[in-house]
Amino acid sequence: MKLFSSLLIFFLVFPVKSFPQEFIVKSLNVYTTDNLTSLPVLTGGNKLVIEFDVQGKFIPNMNIVFRFCDKGWTPTKNIFLLNSQYSTYYFLDFEELPITVVDDARYHHKSSYPDDRDQVQFPFSGKWRFYLTDTEDSSIVYASGKFFVVNDDAELSVRVKRDELEDQSYWPVELAKAINVTTDFYLPDDFHPSFVDRIEIVDNQRLYYPVVIDRKTNTLFRYFKWDANRSFTFTARDIPAGNEFRQVDIRDNNLFIGKNVKAQLDGLEYSRFFLNPQNKDLNGGKLYPDYRDEYSTYLNVTFSIRPPEENFRNIFLVGAFNDWKLSLDYLMKESGGVYSITIPLKRGIFDYQYVAADIDYGEILNPDWLVLEGNTWLNSKELDVFLYYNEQDKGPYERIIGYKRVKSQ
């Protein structure tokens, strides 16, 4: 059991809303005791914290169920990987929120893992999911999250430097600016070189859009090298440099008064393509005040942007509040050249940005993350690097045997 020599990484998704619910989970947040805003990583010296609000008429009866997953985040059916004895945290405790929040949420839960009751353990490295379920009926899922458990078996050496795309002529030339991430490692004797699979890089917590370097495919910008023994090198040269994220900070109740507010005090935003970073962001993160604070209420927040006149595409809002996932639920409406959307948010700080994309029969196509935000080497981003291995024991199953977090500056 290598629980305390493992790394645990959580990334969250929003509540399941496919059926009517008597409880609604809101402001689901996961972090570690030593880092409130990064992709949460449990190293053994710290603990993982899961907390959320619940809207409901009476105290909920909920469990948290943990499931080991396959490559596509589907919970495994392999009986050797079910971890049945240590997969559920039972009967969550709830605390009533201040009266100012009651209209939008009434109860709050907070728990940490590994738990003191030793109900939950994570014996396998790889992709995991957790589900907030009804105590009596686990098929009723109120919310779900994704996380990684990583055994630190292979020591990764990760180098980050500036690079430029050269497969075509880019205009404006800023679009050619990229980040080169090269990962070297020596495979320990306990592992077979043939089963080393790929490197995945999560850029600023955008878990749904990882950079994948597969040993089966070599291109101009993504390739690997192997010395036919135990030394490997994986390289990605085409990670967009990007820009610092926009940020909404609605914590101050003296500035953001009332139920309906604007994300920015001046109300309207514009393209930042040719603007250098003004402030440091949270590298894709979010931060809530203490849930016991009487001003920690929910607001209806309106985001508005006037893009350049030559924009002919749809614009989406994406950020830490929806796990950086492009969704039709966050499609902005256009009126007089201004695109706007109003979403409910609890007071806090959230990184976000605007993305231009096409829509075809309900599918989001050709997303452009740079056209409204810019692409510069002057910003700093956080990169989480994972090494995947095709484990044959108890499987086969996909195992993560190496992990490292680096910053581009």
Polymer length in residues for the chain:
409
Q: Are residues 364 and 384 in the same domain?
A: no
Task: Provide the percentage of residues in the chain whose pLDDT is more than 90.
Answer: 77
Of 122, 151, 180, which residue constitutes the final position of a domain?
151
Q: Are residues 383 and 361 in the same domain?
A: no
Q: Are residues 121 and 204 in the same domain?
A: no
Q: Are residues 283 and 340 in the same domain?
A: yes
Q: Are residues 127 and 72 in the same domain?
A: yes
> Looking at residue 324, what is its pLDDT?
97
> Looking at residue 30, what is its pLDDT?
86
Looking up residue 122, the CATH number of its domain turns out to be 2.60.40
Give the tens place of pLDDT for each residue, 120-147.
Answer: 988 889 888 999 999 999 999 999 988 8
Exposed / middle / buried, residue 59 (Cβ in 10 Å: 0-12, 13-18, 19+): middle
Mean pLDDT of the residues in the chain = 91
Q: Are residues 397 and 257 in the same domain?
A: no
Exposed / middle / buried, residue 15 (Cβ in 10 Å: 0-12, 13-18, 19+): middle
How do strand 95-96 and strand 157-164 relate by DSSP bridges? Answer: unpaired
**Contact by Cβ (8 Å): 270, 309:** no
> Looking at residue 33, what is its pLDDT?
81
> Looking at residue 186, what is its pLDDT?
98
> Looking at residue 18, what is its pLDDT?
42
> For the chain, how many structural domains are there in total?
3
pTM for this structure? 0.92
> Looking at residue 21, what is its pLDDT?
61
What's the mean pLDDT in 60-66?
94
Q: Are residues 29 and 128 in the same domain?
A: yes
- Residue 197 is assigned to a structural domain of this protein: yes
> Looking at residue 2, what is its pLDDT?
44
Closest CA to 145 of 326, 238, 9: 9
Does the pLDDT value for residue 171 go beyond 70? Answer: yes
> Looking at residue 156, what is its pLDDT?
97
Residue in the structure block whose two tokens are 């949270």: 282
Task: Provide the percentage of residues in the chain whose pLDDT is more than 70.
Answer: 95
Q: Are residues 345 and 383 in the same domain?
A: no
Closest CA to 405 of 385, 387, 389: 385
- Residue 304 is assigned to a structural domain of this protein: yes
> Looking at residue 395, what is its pLDDT?
83
Q: Are residues 75 and 182 in the same domain?
A: no
Give the tens place of pLDDT for each residue, 207-216.
Answer: 999 999 999 8
Give the tens place of pLDDT for each residue, 8-46.
Answer: 544 444 444 444 468 999 999 988 788 899 988 777 777
**Contact by Cβ (8 Å): 407, 382:** yes
What's the mean pLDDT in 78-83?
94
> Looking at residue 87, what is its pLDDT?
92
- Residue 312 is assigned to a structural domain of this protein: yes
DSSP label at residue 9: E
Residue 175 burial (CB count, 10 A) = 19
- Residue 373 is assigned to a structural domain of this protein: no
Domain that holds residue 211: 157-242+379-407
- Residue 329 is assigned to a structural domain of this protein: yes
Q: Worst-scoring range by mean pLDDT, 69-73, 193-197, 362-366?
A: 69-73
CA-CA distances (angstroms) from residue 31 to 139, 174, 189, 328? 26, 34, 34, 27
Of 108, 134, 151, which residue constitutes the final position of a domain?
151
DSSP label at residue 176: G
Q: Are residues 207 and 253 in the same domain?
A: no
DSSP label at residue 175: G
**Contact by Cβ (8 Å): 83, 66:** yes
- Residue 280 is assigned to a structural domain of this protein: yes
Q: Are residues 78 and 217 in the same domain?
A: no
- Residue 44 is assigned to a structural domain of this protein: yes
Of 125, 151, 177, which residue constitutes the final position of a domain?
151
DSSP label at residue 284: T
> What are the residue ranges of helices labelled H in 111-253?
none
* 167-176: long-range pairs with CB below 8 Å, 24+: 167/220, 167/221, 172/273, 172/274, 174/273, 174/274, 174/374, 174/375, 174/376, 175/370, 175/375
The more confident residue out of 180 and 148 is: 180
Q: Are residues 16 and 100 in the same domain?
A: yes
Does the pLDDT value for residue 304 go beyond 60? Answer: yes
**Contact by Cβ (8 Å): 385, 399:** no
The SS3 call for residue 339 is: strand
- Residue 374 is assigned to a structural domain of this protein: no
Distance CA 94, CA 109 (A): 5
